[in-house]
Amino acid sequence: MTRITYRDAVRSALREALASDSRVFLMGEDVGRYGGAYAVSRGLLEEFGPERIRDTPLSESAFLGAGIGAALGGMRPIVEVMTVNFSLLALDQVVNNAATLRHMSGGQLSVPLVVRMATGAGRQLAAQHSHSLEGWYAHIPGIRVLTPATVADAYGMLLAALREPDPVFIFEHALLYPVEGDFDPASGVADIAHAAVRRAGTEATVIAYGGSVGKALQAADQLAAAGVEVEVLDLRTLRPLDDETILTSVRKTRRAVIVDEAWRTGSLAAEVSARITEGAFYDLDAPVARVCSAEVPIPYAKHLEDAALPQPAGIVTTVRELLGTTRG
């Protein structure tokens, strides 16, 4: 066991995939000579050459479409989109091609494509580089949506995605890249079918994913200091959602708080809330609560950005309101 950064974990998975399968290649803006917008692919061009590490023009629709074509042709492309906001330029390729071809061909075609992109706010990059739109992708049948929150998942989920016969979209919260965590080089492929309990508790379930998991754990620490033990559940995979693990936790704690960096209206948090209400309504001791971003474009100013995003203090307050207590 060693400690490495989230960024290094993704790079290690990329290196392993490229070394072990000649069909794998990485393509995207600045992934080669520059080493990636977040330094994830630094050194890979020198190691694997320009045929395997391909810099692309600044056209998301074009290079994501090229990735779909390569996957149809038997390759295992990994496409990097610089930020989730820019991925909207390629939504036609996602919704009308990558996600539909298996269905529309009656199972004759598969698109073993992996798309990685940075998501989330907190870096003062303003509205065009800071939104959390992974819930939009989770709405689309035909793709799998992963949100690794830990170093181990950053490594293992990418390896698991490359084994899938259909498109997999991996959303990496940009604030996680420099975060360190425990890493076992022998850990191998991650389980991408199940959510994970990151902290056990009995009085409420705090459900989060990606960059919000750390905030949920911070809130749990603060609550524990006041004698309130909450369970923290990391969704990990947004499509398909692991209903069984969600409902098992909520039935135990009888309360649920969903933390989602997306906007509240039409959010993934709303979908999770609906599933809890449908599957565990009579087990609840309080309404399902949500902690989401303010309904505004993410601001540039630091104090406004912080105010717009879910924060540990807001999670703590919401849990206390559900419990009807002001302990601590």
How are strands ordered across the β-sheet holding 24-28? 53-55, 24-28, 76-81, 114-119, 168-173, 144-146, 237-239
| Given 29, 46, 47, 60, the catalytic residue | 60
The DSSP string of 237-271 is EEES--HHHHHHHHHHHS-EEEEEEEESTT-HHHH
Coil/strand/helix, residue 325 = coil
Residues in a beta bridge with 24:
76
The token pair that represents 159 in the structure block: 């390896």
Please confirm, yes or no, whether 60 is among the known catalytic residues: yes
Joined tokens for residue 169: 């979209």
- Which neighbouring-strand residues pair with 234? 196, 208
CA 119/CA 134 separation, integer angstroms: 8
Of 29, 80, 129, 261, the catalytic one is: 129
For residue 109, the one-letter residue type is L
172 catalytically annotated: no
Catalytic residues: 60, 129
